[in-house]
Amino acid sequence: MLKKFLPSEYVKSIFQIKPDDLKARGIKGIITDLDNTLVEWDRPYATPELIEWFDKMKQHNIKITIVSNNNEKRVKAFSDPLGLQFIHKARKPLVSAFRRAMQTMGTSRDETVIIGDQLLTDILGGNRAGFYTILVVPVAKSDGFFTRFNRAVERRIMSNFKRNGLINWEDDK
């Protein structure tokens, strides 16, 4: 059961994910979470470094769709200035938003990667739908109200993974 929470890969930051590496895997589309994956949950807009990362992906013809459980106002305000497609109120870990994002980008499951900072939403949903999943260390140390509960559960799952030698990313912080 816990294997459904195990990411295919884990990195400290979104910036460690390189377009050449994705292309080598046959990846043509990224479905990414927004809050604490791309920017802090309370930061309204992309940082210059993140804009550069998006531009590199676009230069390599890798499409990006933001899939967030947050409301339309929040996700639209972030996505529109960047010209990114988005799905709000995604209800992750349900898989329907991931499938819809993939269809919108015109990619297959094997050509799409899910990137997120939460095991209980992004990774579980992506794994359930059969995608390659990448877990990133959360950008901010603080979380919104509902995410705090998830983090407590995630710490227990991560502890289990660590004990069993399945993951060691927290050692590298």
The pLDDT > 70 percentage for the chain reads: 92
According to the model, what pLDDT value does residue 8 have?
Answer: 95
Taking only the tens place, the pLDDT of each residue in 30-78 is 999 999 999 998 899 999 999 999 999 999 999 999 999 999 999 999 9
Asked whether residue 168 carries a pLDDT value surpassing 90, the answer given is no
Q: In whole angstroms, how far apart are CA 26 and each of 22, 103, 147?
A: 6, 17, 32
Strand order in the sheet with 29-32: 9-11, 132-136, 112-116, 29-32, 63-67, 85-87
CA-CA distances (angstroms) from residue 159 to 60, 128, 135, 137? 37, 21, 15, 15
Task: Determine the number of helices (DSSP H) and then strands (DSSP E) in the chain.
Answer: 6, 6
Q: Decide if pLDDT at 172 tops 70.
A: no
Topology adopted by domain 2-172: Rossmann fold (3.40.50)
Give the C-alpha distances (Å, rounded to integers) separating 138 from 21, 50, 116: 22, 15, 8
- Taking only the tens place, the pLDDT of each residue in 92-107 is 999 999 999 999 999 9
Name the DSSP class of 145.
H
**Per-residue confidence at 1, pLDDT binned at 50, 70, 90?**
low
Kindly indicate the confidence band of residue 151, based on its pLDDT and cuts at 50, 70 and 90: confident
pLDDT at position 146 is: 65
pLDDT at position 143, please? Answer: 62
Higher pLDDT, 157 or 171: 157
